[in-house]
Structure 1
């Protein structure tokens, strides 16, 4: 499949089996999305064949693929928020065998489809009032109503909470138990090894490897995608640290009641590890200034900043990279340049001039290897990895001294991860400090110099990242361990 001079796919092959979950993996730009759009009828291939149950298929329109039994759940849902669940499930399918289905019939069949998936969602409820996770379940139910035999999931957990991920996995297992074929696209290796039976690896639009997940390892998958083992994704750690840059002592906030005491040195990356929902987000927002301080102290380079607002702390040198870059970190209607300059401009008096701004933006884009023609490119057109680089670039441009970074590589492919890791380490080599949270323990161990474990909002353990193991971090994070030791 080519787009002008760009060959998106070449000699690609993919085989999915009934009753199996098949992962499709590769870096951004590897051709995964193009391949899925060929299977779902969005594009037509220039050459090659698509077979369903052994029969050669040709799709001129997405509806052709749907009628053939292929259901695709994209990251951006195709639901109409002002319609009910039942109306969405039968949108475009109101006529069956030449007869228009009654509202009662549609509702009854919606109840049946939801029951098949063990979903407790009111068929009369307006879709716009559902959570993101529930909306995704409705998308899956659409495929059940259409009696699809192939389900394609494109980054299905990107916007889901941990309990919604478990619900999704349960649904996928129900689908495969009924003989459905599932293709699963995700950057999250832990999910691939948890739910998938087989994995196909792509690189530069071409087939690299197909292997059962039980017969491979995370390291082999990463090497197949980027040509290097996982250890080489991370930069070397700091050999020597500078003086204390950020320090808190018994810091308490309105939403973070456990006293917080920590230190970050110049040149150091400190990671916060813990189970989901143990207070990581509250801790970061307390230091950033979004949660008012009730007691305790917070100092930046020896100067008290605990009584300052979030904007004042930003002006003092605190940068904040939120977990959800699209909701909290970017202005999607603006271009790269405008997004990068927001912090630098906010730190200066109103209507003041920022010297050499265009050249500085271009320099930061070059340093971060942002893949875009120029700074006028809308951020909404960028991949997840490049969007994250724009958020990081904002704080490089603003001259932040301490970066608070939530889930720095969320929804980012392996190749972009390595670039982000390199930039974070480069940030600290300039005498700055980073506090980072991540759900991925291997990421924290490989990226950080020192690790803090949080449980119930309190720091309960500290260890050198060089010596840390996932097992040790989990032991400290689990509350049962403490009670058993007692």
Structure 2
């Protein structure tokens, strides 16, 4: 080991700090006259990991931005190791050792890994930048956290989970003793989550105080020492994790007992609404044939990269099929044309809500009429009264929480944004609803409402095809489930099989190739029909 590498490893294992590293006192903040934080006080201790829980819109991200100097509070104060943080001064927070890794990462994608790590503190010599030294130091810094990534690689070519850990490495290399992680696992795979939790544990051992937000109870259980819960801008729970049950946390978040997260499903009709006939998805190993009946919810399970999103986008025409057909109510839908899918009364709620599902700066009203603007216009002129009435009606049907229809989507919580993306299709008739990760980044309270909406829409007669990485969603919402691997159907499970004791293990075996059925076609039997294993 080089002397330089030894120095890096020694710095990674320095004597842990002690005591309170960050303290917020009576933090108050509002936007446009709407209170977001109502007198929040909390402290972060050295060598601890605190989970900040709460529904979307509870004020979690706002509190983090105030603690990191990005926002100026309307009242209250922040101290870092006893030193007052100048309000709204991110540079001062950085100098005092507070770093934030936001949900939308701040990496410069066009630069290399080492350039991102050394940005603002580049190593220079008589002849200019010492790139070789920066590359070598970056390699050693990454190795401390178990990353073997080539530091010369372009940042944009790396998975989100790796970029996230590199942002954490950058924060620790600049001397951060307090690290705030906003939804660090919302867009990464389970494997990457495991690595992230290991890195967080290493930082805790080094005496860093960490505060992280998540909607996943298993992550809180796996790594947190303490849980703070915000509800409607108020702090309603602050206790060691060991003193709290999962039900305690959920009840604190939503302010009520959550008795039935998943509503009871209806019985599908016999009419086939959506039919895929040997549909060849680009990049898939085999064509897919399946049928979805009116009122039926068919779940798509599988590991990351199994091809669920690709299948959804091909059905809707975002991707052009390389063969086969999509039929709705017996009529062929022209491939590769989303407009044809919409005309066939199909709707898609995409996985990437912010990038592909909604136009965040636009209002609820404008987002609500994007798919069917023509029905509200004559000769290029909008029928404003009809448009406002219809959008208001569908937003009421999904219990949207917004100030009014003119509120911009970027000011709504994630759960309410998702409701808008879903409800905007309901201004016209829909026969086929395609849902890709319908509750990603959505808190448990909003999830319950979205589940109700999905079940109600199926009961109204829609055929629903739903891709989800959340196993309880697949098991509890689906009438049938298909497991995908390499873009092909690896197996199918009936309703009876979905309630079996070993079902999660079987889904994993099918998804990973440990169990091979040879299934390439999903049968169209009723959900309650007796069925042999695929």
- 1:464 match: 495
Q: CA deviation at 1:340?
A: 2.7
Asked whether the equivalents of residues 402 and 412 of structure 2 are also in contact (C-alpha less than 8 Å), the reply is yes
Q: 1:58 is matched with which residue?
A: 85
SS in 2 for 1:233: coil
CA distance in 1, matches of 2:416, 2:139: 42
Aligned match of 1:313: 341
Alignment of 1:72-151 (within 5 A): 72-80=100-108, 85-86=113-114, 88-91=116-119, 103-104=129-130, 107=134, 110-121=138-149, 127=155, 131-151=159-179
8 Å Cα contact 1:446/1:465 also seen in 2: no
Match of 1:443 among 462, 473, 478: 473
Q: Which residue of 2 aligns with 1:475?
A: 506
Is this contact kept in 2: 1:341–1:398, CA < 8 A?
no
SS at match of 1:343: coil
Deviations 1:440-484 (A, max 9, x none): 111233333333333442151222179625741331331465379
| Deviation digits for residues 134-191 of structure 1 (CA, Å, limit 9, x no counterpart) | 4433321221122111111001123334444344333223222322221111123333
1:56 deviation in Å? 5.8
- The answer on whether the counterparts of 1:339 and 1:394 sit within 8 Å (CA) in structure 2 is yes
Matched, 1:344 2:372: yes
| Gap change, CA 1:346 and 1:253, over 3 Å in 2 | farther
CA distance 1:91–1:190, shift in 2 (3 Å): same
> Are residues 303 and 47 of structure 1, via their aligned partners in 2, closer, same or farther at CA, if it must alter by over 3 Å?
closer
Pick closer, same or farther for the CA change 1:344–1:272 going to 2, 3 Å.
Answer: same
Structure 2 counterpart of 1:184: 212
Matched, 1:196 2:235: no
Distance 2:174 2:309 in 1: 40
8 Å CA contact 1:110, 1:145 repeated in 2: no
For the structure 1 residues 126 and 402, does the alpha-carbon distance in structure 2 shift closer, same or farther, using more than 3 Å as the test? Answer: closer
- Point out the more displaced range, 348-357 or 317-326: 348-357
Shift of 1:130: 5.2
Q: Which residue of 2 aligns with 1:154?
A: 182
Write the mapping of 1:409-448 to structure 2, written as runs, cut at 5 A.
Answer: 409-448=439-478
How far apart, CA to CA, are the structure 2 residues paired with 1:241 and 1:412? 30
Aligned to 1:3: 30
The CA RMSD over aligned residues, in Å, is: 3.7
Per-residue deviation, 1:319: 0.9
Q: Hey, what does 1:365 align to over in structure 2? A: 395
What is the aligned partner in structure 1 of residue 96 from structure 2?
A: 68
Tell me the TM-score normalised to structure 1 length: 0.84
The DSSP-based 3-state class of the residue aligned with 2:494 is strand
Does residue 265 (structure 1) correspond to residue 289 (structure 2)? The answer is no
Q: Distance in 2 between matches of 1:397 and 1:365?
A: 10
Displacement of 1:52 in angstroms is 4.9
2:310 & 2:156 partners in 1: Cα distance? 28
TM-score w.r.t. length of structure 2: 0.78
Unaligned regions of 5+ residues in structure 1, if any? none
Q: How does 1:285-304 map to 2 (within 5 A)?
A: 285-293=313-321, 296-304=324-332
Task: Tell me the SS of whatever aligns to 2:47.
Answer: coil
* Secondary structure of the structure 2 residue equivalent to 1:19: coil
Deviation string, structure 1 residues 235-271 (Cα, Å, up to 9, x no partner): 3321563633223344443433434333322222222
Q: 1:346 to 1:269 in 2, by over 3 A?
A: farther
Q: Is the 8 A contact 2:101 2:180 kept in 1?
A: yes
Name the SS for the 1:278 alignment partner.
coil
Distance 1:455 1:215 in 2: 41
Cα distance change on mapping 1:209 and 1:453 into 2, 3 Å: same
Q: Closer, same or farther in 2 for the Cα pair 1:218/1:440, shift >3 Å?
A: farther
Residue 66 of structure 1 and its aligned partner are, at CA, apart by 1.9
The answer to whether the 8 Å contact 2:57/2:413 transfers is: no
The runs of 5 or more residues in structure 2 that have no matched partner are 1-27, 518-532
Q: Pairwise mapping of residues 166-181 of structure 1 onto structure 2 (< 5 A)?
A: 166-181=194-209
**Counterpart position of 1:389:** 419
Aligned residues: 482
